[in-house]
Amino acid sequence: MARCLLAKGFSLQVFARRPEAAQTFVDAGAHVAASPAELAQACGIVILSLPDAAAVEQVLFASDGLATALQPGSCVVDTSTIAATPAREFAERLRQRGVWLLDAPVSGGQQGAEAGTLGCMVGGSAAALAACRQVMEAFCKTITHVGASGAGQTVKACNQVAVAGALMGVADAIALAKAQGLDPALMREVLMGGTAKSFPLERHAPRIIGNSFTPGFRARLMRKDLRLALDTARAVGATLPTATVAEQLLDAMCESGRADWDWCAVALEVQRLSGMDIPDTPEPS
């Protein structure tokens, strides 16, 4: 995402909690800030990409955080995937300082980030989004305002639930084909010509069949996202059966040492439950 901004000619300030992570962007022409507060002094729009709500809160509100130096009218675009409740809380705390926060999680994975073709679902002020849209278009193909603060995170949770459900169907189909002695690649080819065609069948199934699990999107991150979705559902009394099963399988995968494999390797857990031998190491991509 940062490289996309540089490629579009934006002047870029960067801060990374691990300083070594920023060096590649310095080499590409970005300026490094020593702290979030220092970055905030130079920027009217700040984009976050962090692993969880605790990290977002620290970068925003620590003693050297963004909130200490952002000027009224500034906007923070948080592309992290966190729960809707903290997203709303952070937005309100910044609003009291005259600063906008957009919860703007993205979908499209590493490939989409590199190509600048991510999809973004945005919660918060429509006016703030209009002010930030040109910057966000450097790394997003589609940007959709979905409602008030927290709505972006809720839609992202829905996205992860739907994607997990679709992959579970593909994983079951591959396991059934293998259990019956069929060529799973031929089975996939047949299904691609009918109503079973889907993104997971098109993109993930060949990797599952070929035992190629270099991420991509890591299993531990998908587990985190599904846990957020399940927590959100429980808070309002909703039940998500497919997401529950997917989270359990991802947990088994992560606890068996595969947390940094691509998450589509969760299909191996389905095969394991069917009594099949599964590989200890993936083939190179």
CB count, 10 Å around CB of 280?
8
Q: What is the CA radius of gyration of the chain?
A: 20
Interatomic CA distance for residues 21 and 30, integer angstroms? 12
The residue from 141, 156, 197, 224 that is catalytic is 156
Tokens of 188: 């996939």
Nearest to 105 by CA among 54, 37, 36, 52: 52
Residue with tokens 């299904």: 191
For residue 226, how far is the Cα from the chain centroid?
A: 11
Interatomic CA distance for residues 160 and 25, integer angstroms? 30
197 is catalytic: no
CB count, 10 Å around CB of 276?
12
Question: With b meaning 16 or more CB within 10 Å and e meaning fewer, what string describes 16-26?
Answer: eeeeeebeebe
Residues annotated as catalytic (active site), given as ranges: 156
